[in-house]
Structures are given as structure tokens and as C-alpha cells.
Chain A
Amino acid sequence: AQSVTQPDIHITVSEGASLELRCNYSYGATPYLFWYVQSPGQGLQLLLKYFSGDTLVQGIKGFEAEFKRSQSSFNLRKPSVHWSDAAEYFCAVGAPNQAGTALIFGKGTTLSVSS
């Protein structure tokens, strides 16, 4: 069965520093991969998604992610973090033709931004 692992529960980054959030997935075929962000007290918002093609995907708010099949990873990056990026980030995998499933989410990484 497909699964998603986000190894880091909590990360603190200084404002202006670069950010990388890790995501590893388990799925036999090419997965459909997503990153969502959840600000405190809010619902989830899609940052970016990968289905096929170019393995470097650009998203909203200056985020990008790179799909690496050999490492089963889909890490999220941002070159310069802003205080408003403090939130919880979820990686998710969608498995087509898998009855009874929708998106499988990782447990999330909480990002804190220090000044």
C-alpha cells in the first residue's frame, strides 16, 4: 500500500534562510504527488503538484519541489523564507485506480520562522 513519510516533525528556520522539507513516498508506479500548506486555524491549500514531465515543479508563494524517482522523494524547497511561511506542511500521494483511497497524507512538518 502507498504511504508517505515526512521525517521532520518540526523545523525552525531563520527569516531569509533557505528551506527544504523532506517527503518520501512508497508506491509501485509513478505517483501523483502534492504539497499542501495549513496556516493555523485554516483549511489546507495546495502549494504544488506533480503528475508527470519536468521533475522540478513550481508552485505558489515561491515554493518548488523536485521529484526524484531513484530516492522516492518529493522535497519542498524555498530559497528565502518569510515569517508568513510559518505553518504546517503536508505531503500527499494520490494513487490512481486504487479503490477506497483518496489522497494519503504524511503526518506533517511544522515550520517555525525565527527573526
Chain B
Amino acid sequence: NAGVTQTPKFQVLKTGQSMTLQCAQDMNHNSMYWYRQDPGMGLRLIYYSASEGTTDKGEVPNGYNVSRLNKREFSLRLESAAPSQTSVYFCASSEAPGGVTDTQYFGPGTRLTVL
């Protein structure tokens, strides 16, 4: 039981390049989330998916797109990376559909640097 897995662990991009961060969970959870973590800012929600087939914007969605490919997988895409997107990205999942009351389980994170 791997929980929440994220790939890649590290990535360096040049400004303007695109990339997709992958996230998968094997807990049969309904809700999945993407956060970014910046020093002194805590975690901020980028997008979330309350159930398969739905996605919604969080606090900081600009510059990102997401896809809930199936119940297990939730990807985050940067179409044209900018230095302001240098951050650590965490994927999380929780059992209930759209549940903010549930425990969220976090992946190990992807450390992204945009030059």
C-alpha cells in the first residue's frame, strides 16, 4: 500500500517550458488536491477534485491546469513555467467526496525550480 505517490521528486525547468506533475493514490479516495508550499506561506490550495470527473479552483490556480484522469490519478500541468512557480508541490487525497472534514493524506512532494 503506497498511499499517495508523486513524480517526479525534483525538476528544474527554464522559463516558458511546460511540464506535468503526476499524482496517484491507491486508497480508493474520492477527493484529491494539489497544494504548493512556499517558505513562510504554509500550504496553499491550487486545485482540487471532489470526485472523479470534477475539478475546482483553489486559492492560487493561475498558471496551472489539472486533470482528474480517473479515480486514482490527478495531474497538475504548468503550460508556461515562470520563476514565481518555483515551489514544493504536494498532492493529497481524502476519502469523502469534497470532504474538508476528512483526514488528508499527503504525497512526498515535488520540488520544482524554474530558472
Contact = CB atoms under 8 A, between A and B. Distances in A.
- Co-complex (A, B): yes
Interface of A: 9, 32, 34, 36, 42-46, 49, 51, 90, 94-96, 98-103, 105-108
A96 B101 contact: yes
19 contacts: A9-B40, A32-B100, A32-B101, A42-B109, A43-B4, A43-B107, A44-B92, A46-B103, A51-B101, A94-B100, A95-B100, A96-B100, A100-B57, A100-B58, A102-B33, A102-B45, A103-B45, A107-B40, A107-B42
Interface residues of B, number: 25
Interface of A: prevailing SS: loop
B48 interface: yes
Leading 10 A-B pairs by shortest Cβ distance: A94-B100, A43-B106, A105-B42, A107-B42, A44-B106, A105-B43, A32-B101, A43-B108, A102-B45, A102-B48
Given A42-B108, A43-B108, A49 B43 contact: no
